[in-house]
Amino acid sequence: MKKALKIAGIITLIIIALLIALPFAFQSQIAEIVKRYINQNLNANVEFSDVSLSFIKDFPQAHVSVNDLVITNFEPFKDETLATVKSIAFSMPINEVFKKAADAPITVNAFNIDEALLTLKTDKFGNTNYDIVKKTENIPAQDEESDSFSFSIENYSINNSALTYIDEASNMHMHLSELNHKGNGVFSAETSELNTTSEANISFKMDSTNYLENNTLKLDAIIGLDLKNSIYTFKDNKGFINKLPLKFNGSVQQKENGQLINITFENPESSFKDFLGVMPKAYTQNLDNITTTGDFKIKGKIQGLSSEETIPNLDINITSNNASFKYPNLPKSVEQIAINTSIKNTTGNIDDTYINIDKLNFKIDEDVFKASATLKNITKNMFVNAHVDGKLNLGNITKVYPVEFNKTLSGILEAKLNTAFDMNAIETNAYQRIKNNGSASIKDFVFSSEDIVNPIHISTANITFNPGTVLLNNFNAKTGESDLNATGKIENLLGFLLSNNTLKGNFNVNANLFKVSDFMTEDTTAETSNKTTSNEESLKIPAFLDCTINANAKTVVYDNLNLKNVTGSLVIKDQQATLKDVTSSLFDGSIALIGNVSTKEKTPTFDLNLGIDGFDIAQSFTNMELLQNLAPIAKLLQGKLNSTLHFKGNLNEEFTPDLASISGSALAELLSTKVNANKGQLFNALESHLNFIDFEKLNLKDIKTKLEFANGGVSVKPFNLKYEDISITVSGDHKFDKTLNYNAVFNIPAKYLGSEVNQLIGKINTDDVKNITVPVTANIVGSYTSPTVKTDLKSAVTNLTKQLVEIEKQKLLNKGKDKVTDLIGGLLGNKTKTTTDTTTTTQAQNNNTNATTTPKPTIEESVKNVLGGLLKKKKKDTVN
């Protein structure tokens, strides 16, 4: 016995060792089978990390698993991921592993899929990313059977997976998350039963409307399988949508031209609590504690052929009568609830499906709300005919239903409206097919949001609905310190609400006080910021707006500016705001503005023309940052300013001008202007170099100058001003960082340039010399807060002194020449007398030979003596 046990033990160990070792021998064969099957059957790129084989894990079955599977598409969805699967495991008889390629198909008894993410997509052209199975004709005949699998499944499971379906043509998006599904049965028999359990969360969205949002789905179903006749029968099935139970039965038979469906369903209970069970899970957690009265019933039948041409007939009814509900922790209840809705199709033609909401009524306190509607041709150009008549206190919403608002909601809404339209008319603005009539009003409505600083309180608003248009009869509101009163017309409100159309309108807006800060969000830290845009993202003018606003405001407060009597028009279209004929009183003068601001591109831009008339210079250049940057020196002046400006550039993320991008020009005129007594460092620096000028006495009246700005700076064209008898020409440029590079040329009369110069002028004593001026250039660099002034005054004085000395020399030379001329003229004029005297003298000498005689000088000698004397005198005078 011991020997037999020993032999049995050894054999067992050998078998176990073989079961462990053999998979390694066949690992490559299994991987090759998987790769060959994929390549011959799929038009997609498939990758996986490894394929493993085990004879122990599912003994006596073989266990094959494929790990880290990734499937990506070819064109037209190139490189998009269709599916990722962490693991796919198959169980099959061990002998199936040893089949050769020419043997019968490989039989699979069970499979398990873990953590699969599947994305199914249909683009706007009708292409699908999941149509990746090769056509039969593309598969070699000899391989069709040998490399295929057959399924004789006894159990299967899909665990912790998700499925997404996107249809771009219909703008539909469905998502199943936390999907867990399992089933067991026998597929190989002609007739059998499959027992399944399913659970998932479902979200469904179409045309920007969320019909289901993370709702829970559960289904326990026994499915009868008649594989011979392709009939699948639902037996004893019960499902849940959130907490709404649905029981259904019937069958689906596969036909050559589609599926023949015969299914009925209903909620097994009839309590109104079933209706609340459809609501999102967040609002139904305490459903068991809700008090309800009345009934709620869903009953439906789906019967007929589902094919490419037809759908089954539909007869689905939802009813409730005299129902009510009350949450235990809320003060009010909703009463007199009545619902009567049906979904029908009696022809099998999908276009004949319609929804009839015959009644949707309820009452809160004394407010009664009634509505009805019919929706036809819902799959194509849907036609809507609806009626609303009721009153609703918005403040009661949170008192009857556990919905949470960040801020208090209040106000009384009343509406009585009939509307009839088709969706194509909405999308194309075919107003003749849009039939609206009725009215709506709201009173004491308070709206608040994280996007605004102050709640908006609408005291009254009345709207009249007409075909194609909506009239805003009055709108009175207040937020912060601002008040608004508006009237106007909206052309396509339904097109905006129900489609992607722009909101067109024309409004007249009046205000006593409009503070821009009342409509803006405070700029705080990232942790507490209420801003709706990131630091990198600029504010945008909404693309859906196409309207004109005619505004009239007594006072508009923007930052530290108080604009009075503001009037003008604002046209908003294509993400551009155009300002027309905007005028206002400001800084004891007036301002006119036209131009535009555009946010169509990534970086917002502006292009504005500004007219200024009679601005108080001190006020305007102290309070307007733009003017400070264009002419910082102006804040040192007192008086009035006229100007026209044209400038354009980019706006930064704060919606203010980016100074480095600004270009344009300005023409400025100063009226009755003088320098401020508190002159500032620039004028002080000038006075220290030109101490004979009192800049407070500068004549700045009627000065005109032209400025051009670009590349982050301002260029000032030459302009002239005057100080008493000194004329000044100024030109240069400065940057928006307040750096300077200016030249001021002072044409200074010589009398201001010192005693030495004045003594020279006194000696010369001629009008020409008295009126002589000297150009002195002051070069101004540095910054406005720390300017550096350099002048050529010293060299100008030196040059003037040399000039005056030269004038004096020329004057004396001219004077000497005049004397010589006079003397020579005199000498030449007495020539005859001299000759006679000489003759007489000669005769006398001859008569008196004994007398003593002195010889007379000749004319040439006499001239030399006179010139010599003059030249000596000149030299002496010059020295003196």
Cis link prior to 455 (omega < 30° from 0)? no
Mean pLDDT for all residues in the chain:
77
- The residue with greater pLDDT, 669 or 551, is 551
CB 572 within 8 A of CB 544: no
Structure tokens at 652: 């930064």
* pLDDT over threshold 80, residue 432: no
CB 266 within 8 A of CB 247: yes
pLDDT tens digits for range 35-70: 666 666 777 888 877 777 666 566 667 777 888 888
Q: Which residue has the tokens 């407010």?
A: 367
Which range (31-40, 63-72, 92-101) has the least confidence? 92-101
Which range (118-122, 285-289, 448-452) has the least confidence? 448-452
Instruction: Write out the E strands in 682-765.
Output: 703-710, 713-723, 726-735, 739-749
pLDDT tens digits for range 738-783: 888 999 998 888 878 777 777 767 766 666 666 788 888 999 998 8
Which range (15-29, 482-496, 642-656, 707-721) has the least confidence? 15-29
Taking the C-alpha atoms of residue 834 and residue 829, their distance in angstroms, rounded to an integer, is 10
**Confidence band of 375 (pLDDT split at 50, 70, 90):** very high
* pLDDT over threshold 60, residue 142: no
What is the helix, strand, coil percentage profile of the chain, to 5?
25, 50, 25
The whole-number pLDDT of residue 284 equals 58
Please compute the mean of the pLDDT values over residues 449-457 and round it to a whole number: 72
Tell me the whole-structure pTM to 2 decimals. 0.60
Taking the C-alpha atoms of residue 479 and residue 481, their distance in angstroms, rounded to an integer, is 6
Q: Give the other-Cβ count within 10 Å of 109's Cβ.
A: 21
* pLDDT over threshold 70, residue 2: no
CB 812 within 8 A of CB 804: no
**Confidence band of 282 (pLDDT split at 50, 70, 90):** low
**Confidence band of 16 (pLDDT split at 50, 70, 90):** very low
Q: Which residue has the tokens 């088709």?
A: 422
The whole-number pLDDT of residue 390 equals 93
Structure tokens at 765: 């004593």
pLDDT tens digits for range 626-677: 787 777 777 667 788 889 999 899 988 777 788 888 899 989 888 767 776 5
**Confidence band of 357 (pLDDT split at 50, 70, 90):** very high
* pLDDT over threshold 50, residue 530: no
Closest CA to 385 of 434, 453, 345, 347: 434
Taking the C-alpha atoms of residue 436 and residue 414, their distance in angstroms, rounded to an integer, is 16
> For a pLDDT cut of 90, what percent of the chain falls above it?
21
The whole-number pLDDT of residue 464 equals 93
List of residues 6+ apart from 704 with CB closer than 8 A:
667, 668, 669, 670, 719
**Confidence band of 848 (pLDDT split at 50, 70, 90):** very low
* pLDDT over threshold 60, residue 3: no
The whole-number pLDDT of residue 679 equals 64
Using only the alpha carbons of the chain, give its radius of gyration.
51
Taking the C-alpha atoms of residue 470 and residue 494, their distance in angstroms, rounded to an integer, is 9
